[in-house]
Chains A and B, each alone.
Chain A
Amino acid sequence: MAEKRIDEATGTQTMGHEWDGIEELDTPMPRWWLWTFYACIVFAIGYTIFYPAWPMIDRATGGTLGWSSRDDFDKEMQTEARRRAPIMAALAATPIDQLSANPELMQAAVEGGRAAFKVHCVQCHGSGAAGSKGYPNLNDDDWLWGGDLKTLEYTIEHGIRNPDHDQTRMSQMPAFGRDAILDGKQIADLTAHVRAISRQDKAGAASARGGQLFTDNCAVCHGPAGKGLRPFGAPDLTDAIWLYGGDSDSIAATISNARYGVMPRWGEKLGPVTVKMLAAYVHSLGGGEAAPPPVADPAPDPAKPHVQP
């Protein structure tokens, strides 16, 4: 172990260690570096006093300035809410069927609906609202319960087949096969008839037999021509769109076991403005319908189940 000494070549003191003749110079830190280092320490101490820093048992110390990132976030959210307040107020005050008179408000509603759709609806209807088997495509022009703004708003607000909600859209197709209302051959005939009226198969003896069965069992809800009836959410069986598939097997399965598509009611959860925006968005996707002309004879109350299983 060598003693501390002044190195001749550099004039700097050594550390006092020596390994196999190699010694280390005790070169002092550059002054600017040292002062920067001290300044950093002072800054760090100040920071821990003014800002949240030291972890305690249930939370960190708050800091004397009382700053928190959550408060910042809240403030930004409040600013955004204030910015949107006039639009939201206007949306709340405007009935949905009068929205189209104000293109700017309509545009705001569609954009708001687009955002809300991405959060609440894409799980079933898909990110592009194209649906999938059992979940309707909202881009097309085929609607089970109606596709004008007011009807869409009602459907979204009250949901479909919510047994614990009086105003919900409710209907139930009988399970003709499972409940032994029709036998296998009759179901096959009925399937042939549905295939014929949707112009997927040519009419034949089976479909003619099925036609009679249809009139007896199905025409109440689907209409005598199979065009569907919206008050019951009964689909049009003559068009090109099949929610559960239009091939013979799928149709037979549907007749046999029935379908019971459910949608949550969103009115309570999202509030009237968001529901309005969602309706406007869905209406804008390409299949939105104009409001139906007012009819003298009120439509049957869709809230009441009309077809008992």
Chain B
Amino acid sequence: MSSPDAIASASLYAKRKAVYPKAVDGFYRRLKWAVMAVTLTIYYVTPWLRWDRGPYAPDQAVLIDIANRRFYMFAIEIWPHEFYYVAGLLIMAGIGLFLVTSAVGRAWCGYACPQTVWTDLYQHVERFIDGDRNAQFRLARARWGASKIARRLFKWSVWLLIALGTGGAWIFYFADAPTLFSEFFAGEAAPVAYGTVALLTATTFTLGGFMREQVCIYMCPWPRIQTAMLDEKSLTVTYKDWRGEPRSHGVKKQTMDLIQTGDCIDCLQCVSVCPTGIDIREGPQVGCITCALCIDACDKVMAQIGKPRGLIDYATFEDAELEKSGAPARPVIKALLRPRTIAYLTIWSAIGAAMLFALGVRTRIDISAQQDRNPITVRLADGTIRNSFTVKIRNMEARPRTVEIGIVGLDGAVLWSGGARPANARTVTLNVAADSVTKQRLFLGSARPGEARQPFAFTVRALDAQGGTDTEPAQFERPETQP
């Protein structure tokens, strides 16, 4: 590749080498099954959970109601103006990824990422229909005949069904699940529902069935970010080359005692089980999602040849150096408890605690007032100056309430909501509908002379046992010239 011609003709494109990962059993494989079961269950079951909120709000436990601009999550209801809670959750998710990365490396990639979970599921289906690694090899090379077509069609159909289920479950987060379910199959659901299902079915089918590890290696930004975040204290899947090298592949057992060989017998089990098709013995690399299946595969081989397990194992770079120099391995907990991890954990918990506190003390009643500007002041027959305000009462409880709007400051002023002006009233009682904003025009009159702009405040108080108040500052204006 040194000549200029060779550089000019070298393509940046590399054709994908198909990966046919071998089935494997072991501790990490079972952990992956467990994580898959939990994550998929959460994904599919959550929209069907019910949560009683009374007659004025939906009874779906988790619901993103875009049409009415409400987000329900069990006992929590979020209005659009409270979107900072969602922002907080996203920040927590981001810092959570940092936290996980600093503690256990790319565990997200290896176990919990939807791309990993669905690819794993698809590969399981593939092994079920096509057979294990070698059978898949043979089938891929085989000429297209009736049997191959039948197998392929069967496999793609099962994939498509899974994809349809994936896309189908997504829409239930945005509408009442049982209703949408029957509407969907009756052909009465909104076009956007069908569009969303079609789109997510297509992406699941393509990304899980065909793109697979290419998503992790080429498309996803997260591995690049993680490579920047990993340091010598990060937990990675490590091939212990000082123990494994030189490999004894092809060396007969009789001669093995004579020449110095490592524990690695070059059986390539670690490569054949790898879902991203890499060779972990080449060291840490961006293609490694740390799913640890090679650990399971290698441990099995080590047991067969009577060597201790852990030729390939989770280890930090620092521990690997220690082990290499002959020092005893440090307990894993030491890798977990380090300042960076603790700092992330502290920030993450602080944001969570702050959000919980804010949720706990937030009022479910809210007032805002806007002064009517045209005209700002009106002189009444008896010389009283009148201002009018458009007041909005936000009732965030899922039931109608009666509230009392009052004023603080502005002594001697009269507040009324229309009709004849009362002699002296400083409060107006209002019925507000459940879970909505009520708009009310209020008149405020003051006969006393005063500043051109006099500050005061509107207050709102819920007149039921639960109570709740809110205050909104405002200004009372007087004409600057006398008649």
Which A residues contact B (CB, under 8 angstroms)? 126-130, 137, 139-142, 236, 239-242, 245-246, 284, 286-290
Choose the segment among B80-88, B257-265, B377-385 that binds chain A (4+ C-beta atoms closer than 8 Å): B377-385
User: Nearest chain-B residue to A245 (Cβ)?
Assistant: B483
Query: Chain B's nearest CB lies how many Å from the CB of A253?
Result: 16
* 0/1 string, B415-432, CB within 8 A of A gives 1: 000111100000000000
Using Cβ atoms and an 8 Å threshold, which residues of chain A touch B290?
none
Q: Are A290 and B375 in contact (CB under 8 A)?
A: no
**Contacts A286-B443, A290-B419, A290-B420; A139 near B378 (Cβ below 8 A):** yes
Using Cβ atoms and an 8 Å threshold, which residues of chain A touch B374?
127-128, 130
Apart from A130-B375, A239-B382, 20 more pairs, CB < 8 Å: A129-B375, A137-B378, A137-B379, A140-B386, A141-B380, A141-B381, A142-B381, A239-B381, A240-B379, A240-B381, A240-B483, A241-B379, A241-B381, A246-B483, A286-B388, A286-B443, A287-B380, A288-B419, A290-B419, A290-B420
User: Nearest chain-A residue to B383 (Cβ)?
Assistant: A240
Using Cβ atoms and an 8 Å threshold, which residues of chain B touch A290?
419-420
Q: Are B380 and A142 in contact (CB under 8 A)?
A: yes
Which B residues contact A (CB, under 8 angstroms)? 373-375, 378-383, 386, 388, 418-421, 443, 483
A276 and B373 alpha carbons, distance in the complex (Å): 26
Number of A-B contacts (CB under 8 A): 54
* Option from A128, A284, A287 in Cβ contact (under 8 Å) with B375: A128
Q: Are B483 and A140 in contact (CB under 8 A)?
A: no
Query: Chain B's nearest CB lies how many Å from the CB of A101?
Result: 15
Using Cβ atoms and an 8 Å threshold, which residues of chain B touch A128?
373-375
Some 12 contacts from A to B, beta carbons below 8 A apart, are A130-B375, A239-B381, A239-B382, A240-B380, A240-B383, A241-B380, A245-B483, A246-B483, A284-B418, A286-B418, A286-B443, A288-B419
**Contacts A130-B374, A290-B419, A290-B420; A140 near B443 (Cβ below 8 A):** no
A240 and B374 alpha carbons, distance in the complex (Å): 20
A287 and B418 alpha carbons, distance in the complex (Å): 9
Query: Chain B's nearest CB lies how many Å from the CB of A282?
Result: 13
A288 and B419 alpha carbons, distance in the complex (Å): 7
Using Cβ atoms and an 8 Å threshold, which residues of chain A touch B420?
289-290
User: Nearest chain-A residue to B385 (Cβ)?
Assistant: A240
Question: Which one of A241, A284, A290 has the highest number of Cβ atoms from chain B below 10 Å of its Cβ?
Answer: A241
Query: Chain A's nearest CB lies how many Å from the CB of B74?
Result: 37
A284 and B417 alpha carbons, distance in the complex (Å): 11
A284 and B375 alpha carbons, distance in the complex (Å): 14
A261 and B388 alpha carbons, distance in the complex (Å): 28
A284 and B374 alpha carbons, distance in the complex (Å): 14
Using Cβ atoms and an 8 Å threshold, which residues of chain A touch B483?
240-242, 245-246
Query: Chain A's nearest CB lies how many Å from the CB of B390?
Result: 13
* Option from A137, A240, A284 in Cβ contact (under 8 Å) with B382: A240
Using Cβ atoms and an 8 Å threshold, which residues of chain B touch A241?
379-381, 483
A129 and B380 alpha carbons, distance in the complex (Å): 14
Using Cβ atoms and an 8 Å threshold, which residues of chain B touch A137?
375, 378-379
* Option from B373, B380, B418, B419 in Cβ contact (under 8 Å) with A140: B380
Question: Which one of B382, B418, B483 has the highest number of Cβ atoms from chain A below 10 Å of its Cβ?
Answer: B483
A234 and B419 alpha carbons, distance in the complex (Å): 24
A287 and B383 alpha carbons, distance in the complex (Å): 14
Q: Are B381 and A236 in contact (CB under 8 A)?
A: yes
A153 and B299 alpha carbons, distance in the complex (Å): 95
Question: Which one of B378, B383, B483 has the highest number of Cβ atoms from chain A below 10 Å of its Cβ?
Answer: B378
Using Cβ atoms and an 8 Å threshold, which residues of chain B touch A287?
378, 380
Q: Are B388 and A140 in contact (CB under 8 A)?
A: no
Query: Chain B's nearest CB lies how many Å from the CB of A289?
Result: 8
Using Cβ atoms and an 8 Å threshold, which residues of chain B touch A246?
483
User: Nearest chain-B residue to A290 (Cβ)?
Assistant: B420
Using Cβ atoms and an 8 Å threshold, which residues of chain B touch A142?
380-381
A127 and B374 alpha carbons, distance in the complex (Å): 7
Using Cβ atoms and an 8 Å threshold, which residues of chain B touch A288?
419
User: Nearest chain-B residue to A131 (Cβ)?
Assistant: B375
Query: Chain A's nearest CB lies how many Å from the CB of B457?
Result: 22
User: Nearest chain-B residue to A129 (Cβ)?
Assistant: B375
User: Nearest chain-A residue to B386 (Cβ)?
Assistant: A286
A236 and B418 alpha carbons, distance in the complex (Å): 23
A288 and B373 alpha carbons, distance in the complex (Å): 19
A242 and B420 alpha carbons, distance in the complex (Å): 22
Query: Chain B's nearest CB lies how many Å from the CB of A209?
Result: 25
Using Cβ atoms and an 8 Å threshold, which residues of chain A touch B379?
137, 140, 240-241
A129 and B483 alpha carbons, distance in the complex (Å): 18
User: Nearest chain-A residue to B384 (Cβ)?
Assistant: A240
Using Cβ atoms and an 8 Å threshold, which residues of chain A touch B388?
286
Q: Are A140 and B382 in contact (CB under 8 A)?
A: no
A245 and B421 alpha carbons, distance in the complex (Å): 25
Query: Chain B's nearest CB lies how many Å from the CB of A236?
Result: 7
**Contacts A141-B421, A242-B483, A246-B483; A286 near B383 (Cβ below 8 A):** no
Query: Chain A's nearest CB lies how many Å from the CB of B5?
Result: 20
Using Cβ atoms and an 8 Å threshold, which residues of chain B touch A239?
381-383
Query: Chain B's nearest CB lies how many Å from the CB of A277?
Result: 18
A242 and B383 alpha carbons, distance in the complex (Å): 11
A33 and B375 alpha carbons, distance in the complex (Å): 61
Using Cβ atoms and an 8 Å threshold, which residues of chain A touch B443?
286
**Contacts A141-B421, A246-B483; A286 near B381 (Cβ below 8 A):** no
A242 and B419 alpha carbons, distance in the complex (Å): 23
* Option from A127, A130, A140 in Cβ contact (under 8 Å) with B381: A140
Using Cβ atoms and an 8 Å threshold, which residues of chain B touch A236?
381
A124 and B471 alpha carbons, distance in the complex (Å): 39
Query: Chain A's nearest CB lies how many Å from the CB of B207?
Result: 32
User: Nearest chain-A residue to B374 (Cβ)?
Assistant: A128
A286 and B421 alpha carbons, distance in the complex (Å): 9
Using Cβ atoms and an 8 Å threshold, which residues of chain B touch A126?
375
User: Nearest chain-B residue to A100 (Cβ)?
Assistant: B419
A243 and B329 alpha carbons, distance in the complex (Å): 97
A142 and B443 alpha carbons, distance in the complex (Å): 16
Q: Are A140 and B378 in contact (CB under 8 A)?
A: yes
User: Nearest chain-A residue to B388 (Cβ)?
Assistant: A286
Using Cβ atoms and an 8 Å threshold, which residues of chain B touch A242?
483
Using Cβ atoms and an 8 Å threshold, which residues of chain B touch A139?
375, 378, 386
A252 and B380 alpha carbons, distance in the complex (Å): 23
Using Cβ atoms and an 8 Å threshold, which residues of chain B touch A130?
374-375, 378
Query: Chain A's nearest CB lies how many Å from the CB of B129?
Result: 43
User: Nearest chain-B residue to A142 (Cβ)?
Assistant: B381
Query: Chain B's nearest CB lies how many Å from the CB of A163?
Result: 30
Using Cβ atoms and an 8 Å threshold, which residues of chain A touch B386?
139-140, 286
A94 and B378 alpha carbons, distance in the complex (Å): 31
Query: Chain B's nearest CB lies how many Å from the CB of A226?
Result: 13
Using Cβ atoms and an 8 Å threshold, which residues of chain B touch A240?
379-383, 483
Query: Chain A's nearest CB lies how many Å from the CB of B440?
Result: 13
A87 and B33 alpha carbons, distance in the complex (Å): 64
Using Cβ atoms and an 8 Å threshold, which residues of chain A touch B383?
239-240
